[in-house]
């Protein structure tokens, strides 16, 4: 019996990562990092940054590591998602700095270190520790869709709600242009008031809010699954500003902890 001859160039499936049938849970963070670099090299697109964007993202990841973000899955997501595609092209050269940026309608995309901190906290839920991913996620405040794109690499499914129609529509375009996500099905993007959550798809294993109010809305706590975790900025009267709040739910009830002082846009009611 003759051996199959090795073909050059290698079949596309070998060069471009696993075929769609490969179980997605087999994708390791290191593999995702390699794939991000391959993707960038393959596309040969001008980035407008004057630098290879995969290399710029890799440097951003190193800075996140230096800030003690040590969840490799979160870091791999940051290495893969092209933040400069979510902001106005005039701001693209600042996309990989640790800074918040305007996204229109008076709203801002949070700085990478804060988004990374929230995602790393979410990855500490009982559910995520057991399963290695975020499961079903509800995101409040889609904005430009950048964090949604990160979540698509960390969760099985993502429901994201934005109250401002122009942003909700832009996020839809931004996310449609995303290459295949590593883990989740396409996100379910909604224009609505996220304070009400989204009961039809509840419960959620993680709820992450990018806007902060006086209190955590009751609907979020109701729609959180046992074993799940809610991460949200909330006003702290004693501090006079916002803090990140983490709320875990188990069979016995909810447990609330407070973390870093943060500065997110206001959680508003109604839609625009
Ligand atoms: N994660 C976003 C950050 C956007 S800023 C990103 O990556 O771009 C926070 C967003 O929350 C804003 O777009 C704001 O319009 C939205 N927001 C504020 N209150 C809301 C509410 N009640 N429901 C849904 N979205 C809300």
The pLDDT, as a whole number, for residue 28 is: 60
Note the pTM of the prediction, 2 decimals: 0.83
Q: Quick check: is 53 catalytic?
A: no
Helix (H, G, I), strand (E, B) or coil at 145: coil
Q: What is the pLDDT of residues 109-128, one digit of tens each?
A: 999 999 999 999 999 999 99
Which stretch of DSSP H or E encloses residue 104?
Answer: strand 101-104
Ligand 1 proximity of 210 Cβ (cutoff 6 Å) = yes
Q: What is the distance in A from the centroid of ligand 1 to the CA of 193?
A: 10
Find out whether the beta carbon of 153 lies less than 6 Å from any atom of ligand 1.
Answer: no
Helix ranges, 67-111 (H): 72-80
Q: What is the CATH number of domain 59-266?
A: 3.40.50.150
- The one catalytic residue among 2, 21, 89, 110: 110
pLDDT digits (tens, 9 = 90+) for 244-263: 999 999 999 999 999 989 99
Q: Is 231 exposed, middle or buried (0-12, 13-18, 19+ CB in 10 A)?
A: buried
Q: Whose CA is nearest to atom 13 of ligand 1?
A: 143
Give the whole-number percent of the chain exceeding pLDDT 90. Answer: 74
Residue 8 has pLDDT above 50, yes or no: no
* Residues 7-20, mean pLDDT to the nearest whole number: 38
How many angstroms is it from 82 CA to the middle of ligand 1? 20
For the cut 50, the answer to whether the pLDDT of residue 214 exceeds it is: yes
How many Å lie between the centroid of ligand 1 and the Cα of residue 50? Answer: 31
- The answer to whether residue 15 scores a pLDDT higher than 90 is no
Q: Can you give the residue ranges of every domain in the chain?
A: 59-266
* pLDDT number for residue 177: 81
Q: Considering the chain, what is the average pLDDT of its residues?
A: 86
Cα–Cα separations (whole angstroms), residue 157 to 115, 134, 162:
18, 9, 17
Instruction: State yes or no: pLDDT of 24 exceeds 70.
Output: no
Q: How far is the CA of 52 from the centre of ligand 1 (A)?
A: 30
Q: Give per-residue pLDDT as tens, 68-110.
A: 999 999 999 999 999 999 999 899 999 999 999 999 999 999 9
Distance (Å, whole) CA 93 – CA 70: 26
Checking if the pLDDT of 20 tops 60, the result is no
Say if ligand 1 is within 6 A of residue 193 CB: yes
Determine which residue's CA is closest to atom 18 belonging to ligand 1. Answer: 267
């Amino acid at each position: 019996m003759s051996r199959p001859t090795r073909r050059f160039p290698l079949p596309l499936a070998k060069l471009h990562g696993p075929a769609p049938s490969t179980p997605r849970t087999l994708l390791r963070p290191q593999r995702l990092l390699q794939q991000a670099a391959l993707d960038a090299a393959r596309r040969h697109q001008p980035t407008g940054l004057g630098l290879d964007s995969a290399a710029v993202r890799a440097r951003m990841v190193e800075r996140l590591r230096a800030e003690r973000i040590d969840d490799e899955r979160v870091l791999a997501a940051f290495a893969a998602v092209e933040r400069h595609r979510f902001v106005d092209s005039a701001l693209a050269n600042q996309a990989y700095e640790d800074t918040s940026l305007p996204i229109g309608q008076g709203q801002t995309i949070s700085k990478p270190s804060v988004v990374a901190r929230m995602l790393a906290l979410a990855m500490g839920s009982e559910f995520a520790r057991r399963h290695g991913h975020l499961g079903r996620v509800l995101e409040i405040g889609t904005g430009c869709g950048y964090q949604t794109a990160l979540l698509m690499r960390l969760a099985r499914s993502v429901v994201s709600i934005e109250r401002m129609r122009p942003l909700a529509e832009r996020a839809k375009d931004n996310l449609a242009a995303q290459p295949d996500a590593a883990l989740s099905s396409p996100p379910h993007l909604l224009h609505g008031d996220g304070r009400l959550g989204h009961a039809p798809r509840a419960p959620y294993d993680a709820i992450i809010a990018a806007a902060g109010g006086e209190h955590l809305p009751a609907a979020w706590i109701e729609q959180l699954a046992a074993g799940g975790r809610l991460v949200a900025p909330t006003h702290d009267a004693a501090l006079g500003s916002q803090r990140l709040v983490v709320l875990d739910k188990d069979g016995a009830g909810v447990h609330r902890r407070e973390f870093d002082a943060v500065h997110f846009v206001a959680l508003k009611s109604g839609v625009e």
